[in-house]
Amino acid sequence: MSNEQEHNFVVSQENWSLHRKGYQDQQRHNEKIKDAIKKNLPDLVSEENIIMSNGKDMVKIPIRSLDEYKIRYNYEKSKHVGQGNGDSEVGDVVARAPGSGDGQQAGAGNGKKAGDKPGQDYYESEVSIAEIEEALFQELELPNLQEKEKSEIITEKVEFNDVRKKGLMGNVDKKRTILTALKRNARDGKAQITPIYNDDLRFKTWNEVIRHDSKAVVLAMMDTSASMGAFEKYIARSFFFWMNRFLKTKYESVEFEFIAHHTEAKVVTEEAFFSKGESGGTICSSAYYKALEVIEEKYNPTRYNIYPFHFSDGENISSDNKTCIELVHQLMEKSNMFGYGEVNGYNRYSTLMNAYKTIEDPKFKHYVLKEKADVYHAMKSFFKKTAEHV
């Protein structure tokens, strides 16, 4: 760096490799995003964008605490100046209103960007579902894990992952055999493939692998009687969405059986389960009978981890409650846990919940969901981290 006085300017190029400031603050920003996700979990978990995305990787959700708030003008309510090509007329459309979450960046500071892209810079944080999962599942744990270990079944599988000198002719490894022959011939003076001796032969050989196979099945039961509206179903849907994703982190495969019931129960498709409404009263035991039947038919408890979850608004025919309790006990014998979620926005008196309160079994979990954010709390309650695991 020489100071060229006569020029009155200096050109210098220094080693900047230790200058990490931008990256450090970027990392702090990332930490803040993670933090914000954690704080907003109750809202995020029931965010419609996510539930309806079918698990697409990225979702756009406004993470509010990360905006740099200023006292600023309302962009939508003010006039702006633009320039046309010479033929603009009153009434011409110059732009479409962007989606929600408009956040034009206040570009203070003096870093000027030549030809700065005109127009507003709408900011919305993009968050991957994986990030939300990471934050959410950190707080969850599968109860009764010992059960899972017992039900792990071992499958034997062969994998060709070894090479030996002896073996079946059908499994000869041509490439390796030729290579060996080549090397040996080269040592003897001539680098060629032939002749190939017995000693050059190489065979692919298998080993037996023991694989722990773990399967889980969720028996999703829901009251589809007239009293269950769109809101109740949405809550159930959000819950099952996250439950599915959570179990997938614990098991290799997770299957779902959807059992819809009013006065009688039947196995339906996922779509029908969440969209169809039926009329009539409610007999919950019908769903439990069906669930037991399904377990009997398809899901052997020694092979499957079974998670029956029932969502209802709690309006059950009182005479049925006793049967229900009995059946829940039967179900619990075969499954890892039994969850009962009651969507009850208005604090109605619920006959079913009252009956269930008498059940005392660590496998039995129940939760009353009053609003969207309760999906998160229900998840936490059902899959509570117990102290000794922390």
Partner 1 sequence: MNGTKELTNAIEEITEVAKGFGLDFYPMRYEICPADIIYTFGAYGMPTRFTHWSFGKQFHKMKLQYDLGLSQIYELVINSDPCYAFLLNTNSLIQNKLIIAHVLAHCDFFKNNIRFSNTRKDMVESMTATAERIAHYEMVHGKEEVESFLDAILSIQEHIDPSIVRFKLPPKTEDNSTNEDSYKKRGEYDDLWSLDSSEKHSQKRKIKKQKKIPPSPEKDLLLFIEEYSRELDDWQRDVLTMMREEMLYFWPQLETKVMNEGWASYWHQRIMRELDLTTAETLEYAKLNAGVVQPSRTSINPYYLGIKIFEDIEERYNNPTEEMIRNGCKPNKGRDKIFEVREMESDISFIRNYLTKELVAKEDMYLFEKKGRDYRITEKDYIQIRDQLVSQRVNGGFPYITVENGDYLRNGELYLRHGFEDIELDIKYLEHVLPYIHQLWGRSVHLETVVEGKETLYTYDGKEMYKQRI
Which residues form the interface with partner 1 (CB under 8 A)? 7-14, 16, 19, 21-32, 64, 66-97, 108-116, 118-120
Three-state DSSP at 44 gives: helix
Q: Given the complex with partner 1, which of 36 and 291 has the nearer CB atom?
A: 36
What is the enclosing helix (H) or strand (E) of 34? helix 21-39
Output the smallest distance, CB 65 to partner 1, in A. Answer: 9
- Phi-psi group of 101: left, alpha or beta (phi > 0 → left; psi -120 to 50 → alpha; rest → beta): left
Output the smallest distance, CB 23 to partner 1, in A. Answer: 7
Output the smallest distance, CB 77 to partner 1, in A. Answer: 5
Cis, peptide link before residue 362, omega less than 30° from 0: no
Q: Given the complex with partner 1, which of 90 and 390 has the nearer CB atom?
A: 90
Output the smallest distance, CB 84 to partner 1, in A. Answer: 4
Output the smallest distance, CB 372 to partner 1, in A. Answer: 20
Output the smallest distance, CB 42 to partner 1, in A. Answer: 19
Output the smallest distance, CB 50 to partner 1, in A. Answer: 22
Tokens representing 63?
Answer: 């993470």
Under 8 Å between Cβ of 207 and 162: yes
Q: Given the complex with partner 1, which of 3 and 358 has the nearer CB atom?
A: 3
Q: Given the complex with partner 1, which of 32 and 348 has the nearer CB atom?
A: 32
For helices 21-39 and 129-137, angle between their N-to-C axes, nearest 10 degrees: 60
Q: Given the complex with partner 1, which of 19 and 174 has the nearer CB atom?
A: 19
Distance CA 154, CA 320 (A): 41
Distance CA 265, CA 286 (A): 5
Output the smallest distance, CB 51 to partner 1, in A. Answer: 25
Three-state DSSP at 37 gives: helix
Distance CA 94, CA 88 (A): 10
Long-range contacts of 74-83 (CB under 8 A, 24+ apart): 75/102, 75/104, 75/120, 76/102
Q: Given the complex with partner 1, which of 99 and 170 has the nearer CB atom?
A: 99
What's the residue count for the chain?
390
Tell the residue number behind the tokens 């059946």, with chain if given.
Answer: 327
DSSP-assigned beta bridge partners for residue 127: 59
Three-state DSSP at 59 gives: strand
Burial class (CB in 10 A: 0-12, 13-18, 19+), 267: middle
Q: Given the complex with partner 1, which of 75 and 137 has the nearer CB atom?
A: 75
Output the smallest distance, CB 78 to partner 1, in A. Answer: 4
366 φ/ψ angles, rounded to the nearest 5 degrees:
-135, 155
Tokens representing 210?
Answer: 């023991």
Distance CA 354, CA 350 (A): 6
Output the smallest distance, CB 70 to partner 1, in A. Answer: 6
Q: Given the complex with partner 1, which of 8 and 358 has the nearer CB atom?
A: 8
Q: Given the complex with partner 1, which of 68 and 297 has the nearer CB atom?
A: 68
Burial class (CB in 10 A: 0-12, 13-18, 19+), 210: exposed
Q: Given the complex with partner 1, which of 10 and 209 has the nearer CB atom?
A: 10
